Structure formats: C-alpha cells, structure tokens
Structure 1
C-alpha cells in the first residue's frame, strides 16, 4: 500500500494533493473521518496525518496540525544542518587541495590560490588582519547600508589605525544615508586626512580591496561566510567597479543635488526612480540603506506632493514629472570636500 500511495501521491505533508487536502480538512473539522472515505488517499496514512481510532477501527482520527508542523520543522532543521555539514566538508576539501598546490610550489595567482572560502567570523577576521598587515599603500572599501552603528565602526578601527600608522591611504564609498550618522563623523575626525569618503544613492554589496591585489566580498546573506579573491582578473574587475562608482559619487560634505521639483527631496527622487522600475518597498529600503518604515513615509510624501491617490497613479505621476530615471551627476564631483574645521572627509 505504501508503494501504491507514493506513486499516485508523490508529495509531502506540506503540499498535500487536492483529494488529501479535502479529506484531512474534513477530519480536522469533525475530529475523525470514516476509513472508507480515506481509501482513495493512502498518502494521509503514509504521512501519519491520519491514524486509526483506537475505539473504532472503522474510523480514522487526524494528527493535530500543531504536531504536524513541529515534525515538518524538525525535518527542515535536519535538512539545513545536513546542508551546513556538506558545506563545511566541501570547504575543508577545497582548502586541502589548495594546500597541495602551495606545497608543490604553485605560483601566486594560479587557480589553486585564486579563491579562498572563509567560513565563520573568526576565519574572516583572521584573513582580514593578515591582509591588513601585508597592505603597503591603499585600501578601497564599499560599505552598503545606512547609518553605521558605533560597534560596526569600531570593529575595523584597529585595522584602520594600523594602516594609518604605515601611511596607507584609504577611500570609502557609502550610501547618502550614512551622512547622517554621528559615528561616521567621529571616525572621520579621528582618522584625519588618511581616509577620503564619498556617497551615492546606492552602492554594491560590501567590498574591501587591499593594494589592488586581494579582495574580500560576502559569500552569504548573513555575512558569516566570505570569499578572499586573489585572481588578478577578478581583482582588476572589482577595482574598475569601485573606480567608476567613485567618479559618480559625491564628497561626503558636498550638498546633494537639487531635484528641480519643489517639495521633492533627493532621496524621494531616488525612491521614485526605483518605484518606476517596479521594486517593492523592502527592496528599495535595502538598496538605499533606510528602513522600510522610512521608505514608506517618503512614498507617502511623494504621493501627496505629486497628487497621486494610488500606487498606480503614483507611477504615472512619476513618469510625467520625469522622475523615472536616476538623478543626473552633480557638478564638481572630482574635488573632495572637507568638513568645516576638520580634515578631509573619511569614513569606514
């Protein structure tokens, strides 16, 4: 019977067939269901969603939805744990083979040492510290997100101070929202003219480049894994990406360009362009480094300013106002600004 049911009902408890859903729903509502009514859907017995009534074997009683959910979550947890173990095994195997290449005298930049997977914050920290110690001239970074918290800025402070002590120059790219963080200004004052910072509406994911020879990028959304890149072609490509964003970015203290439309701020113009591309609120907020709540408040003000009564009408108004494209570059971007009474703008 199990084989027959599996062939005709190839699914799990989380995605019942139509017949199974109907019978199980009836059993949950009524507390039991006649065994003959469940015969066309043996999957319910095989998945332990129904079981015999001990008081009357002609009837079947349902397993509670809460118990089913607990079982499903346990299965998902076990699958995720197994996947993590496989990732760890793959990383260990890759590093073992990479070590073979280095012991055989493989030259730097070959495939054996071009990409290194760093699994875990401790390993990422150790690799970053090693790259910092070896850095001799320049560090380029891209820091996505909005206002940097104090603990985020302090995490890399020891590396920044070590670099400054050796005369290493640093250039950092942030989103415009980061301008409003006091921690960033404090860091700026501490580092003096060692670091130059600029901002854009949005930037790529986090990137750190040392001496244009080694780069670090995130390898998962939680940032508990990273890639250390040493392949010359990859590093050169990332440097080019950075330099092109740098030319478009504004010095930290330079004013943001006027939108040319009364009542619409630069940030609202950026939101309007992303809305025109069809992005949801959460995506827009992430790309601009603001909270979803703040993003929705800007959208509400944008709707009010443009006289839009719905999202559809807002899209039309955005196009009519010419806000459906990115803001044009501001003049004078090439000259870095300076904070009043301070050194060149810096950030981390």
Structure 2
C-alpha cells in the first residue's frame, strides 16, 4: 500500500508545498505566481479576512478528505457508466458484427496468449444481453478467478440475461465455489455439476470461446490458445453439446448438504460403469484419495463392508425410487 501511495502523481509541486508550510508558520507571504495559483486551485489557501491583501493556509486534512469524497463519487459514477456501456452500444455492436461477418477465416478467430484471450472474453461477456452458457471442467477455481466472476457474472444477470453454468462435482466440496454458486443462484443463475463435458463459453448463441484441441488426443494443443467461433453452424453445434451435457448434469445451489450427496452419486455411477477408482478420480476432477474417502464415508453410513456390497445397496435404492 505504501508503494502505491508514494508512486502516485503528486498533487502539488515541491515549491508549492514549501510555500504552504511557510504560510502556515507565518514566515512567508504568498506573492502572485504559479505556486500561489496552484495552492488556490487545490483549496489550500484563501484570502485572510483579518489582513486585506494577504492569504492564510487552510486545513490540509479537511481539503484532502473533501477531495477524496469527490473522487470516490466520480469513481462510482464512472463504474456505473462502465457497467451499462455495452448495453447502450449493443445495437451498434450487432450492426458491426453483421457488417464484418466473414472476415475471420471460416468464422474462427484464433487467440494466442492469456492476456489476449481474457481481453476478448471480457469484451464478449460484457456485451451479453440474452444468455451466457459456460462449462468449466477444471474443478474448484482459484480465488482470483472467482473474484473476477462475481463482478462479470452479476453484471450479466443484472442486464436480464439468462446464465447457466456446468462444473465438475468436485466443486461441491469447495467452500469458496459454494459461496459463489449460492450468490449466483440467488440472483437467478442456474448451476449444475456433471461428470464429462467440454470446456466452452457461449455468448448469446452468437459466439463460442473454446480451447483448440488436438484432433487425435482431444487434449488442448496449447494452454495459451483459444478460438472464438462465430460461424452460425459451429456455434449451433456447441450449443447442442452444452444442452446435452446440461441435461445429464445435476442442479446445485451451493448448499453443502446437497453437495455431498451429489459427489457420492457421481462416484457410484462411475463405479457402476466399471471404472476403477483412479479412473473415477480422473473423470470427476478429484484425487484418488478423495474418492477413497467418500467411499469410506458411504460404507460407514450404510454398513457395507465392500465396494461390491455398496454398489448392490445403491442399485436397490435406485430401483425403489
């Protein structure tokens, strides 16, 4: 904090500061000149009613607090204006997209570098007016990314757009993500968790941001590359993929009691498909030790001694529902 203050642009020149201190001690006079003008503009001196033709120093702390309050009000007005700016220019942005359609090769814009990706993504999301679809198969998100999401996603919801998000089941045991989910669902967002889905962000069904995948391994070819797809056909395919994954995902509102049940069910479903515990951990985005711990909790709660007994118990329970 100290480095931020000392690196800020000084309010007064050194000569003006010395003149203020001299006036304050009664050892100086404020002759007409640039230093006196600067002190007057800053509100630090005023005519002395007891000595015509002279000036006196005013309370610097009061001046600083008044200026601080003014800057805070200005900053608030600017933030409010920034929040609604994409909405004000939405019609012009739509016209621009229509006029420049086809300028990217095949409706695909390749972005390289995390800064370029984040800036392009921020511009797209800030212009979202109807619907934001996101799928994040990366497990719990870092605190700094959640902090960005609060401001960005709440802005989307305040503009009246619908927002749907899919996460891995592992986020249900992450307290910061749970608080984010609770806040977003209270504001109208819909959140679900699913086991297998691709990473994507779709804005107003007109643009999709996706990783660039190797066609054989289906792994990201480079962590700092992404594609912005604007082809109507390709975006439609991305939306269809999201809707399929959304249909098989389970709703979540951030509540801790629901999260444990959903994680247990996701693990049991994977085991029922024949996956080994390490494969379950990989698919659900959690460690093998976490999977083993969840299964141990389930066995203790149900009285089952083995994994086979646990799967049999779960199968009977599902049939009875």
Tell me the TM-score normalized by structure 2. Answer: 0.53
1:190 Cα deviation from its structure 2 partner: 3.9
User: 1:248 touches 1:329 (CA, 8 Å); kept in 2?
Assistant: no
- Residues 1:223 and 2:216 are matched in the alignment: no
1:124 pairs with 2:117: yes
Alignment of 1:207-246 (within 5 A): 207-219=200-212, 220=220, 223-246=223-246
Count of residue pairs brought into register by the alignment: 210
User: CA-to-partner distance for each residue in 1:278-317, whole Å, 9 max, x for gaps?
Assistant: x671x43232021233234456788998766xxxxx7xx4
CA distance in 2: counterparts of 1:250 and 1:147, whole angstroms: 17
What CA distance in whole angstroms lies between the structure 2 residues aligned with 1:110 and 1:318?
A: 60
Task: State the distance in 2 between where 1:122 and 1:106 align.
Answer: 27
Unpaired stretches in structure 1, ≥5 consecutive residues: 1-104, 309-313, 332-348
**What is the rounded CA distance, in whole Å, between the counterparts of 2:233 and 2:132 in structure 1?**
18
Structure 1: distance between partners of 2:111 and 2:319 = 37
Distance 1:165 1:181 in 2: 26
Change in 2 beyond 3 A, CA 1:188/1:106: closer
* Closer/same/farther in 2, CA of residues 137 and 320 from structure 1, 3 Å limit: closer
Partner of 1:86: none
Quote the residue 1:206 is aligned against: 199
Cα contact 1:145–1:287 (8 A) shared by 2? no
| Bigger helix share | 2
Deviations 1:149-173 (A, max 9, x none): 3223123333223323422221111
- 1:230 is displaced (CA, Å) by 1.1
Mapped partners of 2:267, 2:145: distance in 1: 27
Per-residue CA distance 1:12-60 (angstroms, 9 max, x = gap): xxxxxxxxxxxxxxxxxxxxxxxxxxxxxxxxxxxxxxxxxxxxxxxxx
Matches within 5 A, 1:1-348: 108-109=101-102, 112=105, 114-191=107-184, 192-200=186-194, 202-219=195-212, 220=220, 223-253=223-253, 255=258, 265-273=264-272, 276-277=274-275, 281=278, 283-298=279-294, 317=308, 321=312
Query: Superposition RMSD on alpha carbons, in Å?
Result: 4.0
Q: How many Å separate the matches in 2 of 1:162 and 1:330?
A: 44
CA distance in 1, matches of 2:101, 2:228: 14
Asked if 1 retains the 8 angstrom alpha-carbon contact of 2:271 and 2:277, the reply is no
CA distance in 2, matches of 1:109, 1:273: 47
**What secondary structure does 2:210 align onto?**
strand
2:82 corresponds in structure 1 to none
Unpaired stretches in structure 2, ≥5 consecutive residues? 1-97, 213-219
Structure 1 residues 330, 196: closer, same or farther in 2, change over 3 A?
farther
CA distance in 2, matches of 1:328, 1:224: 43
Tell which has more relative contact order, 1 or 2 (C-alpha 8 A, sep 6+).
1
CA 1:301–1:221: 2 relative to 1, 3 Å: farther
What are the Cα deviations for residues 239-269 of structure 1, in whole angstroms up to 9, with x where unaligned?
Answer: 111112222322214847989xxxx942441
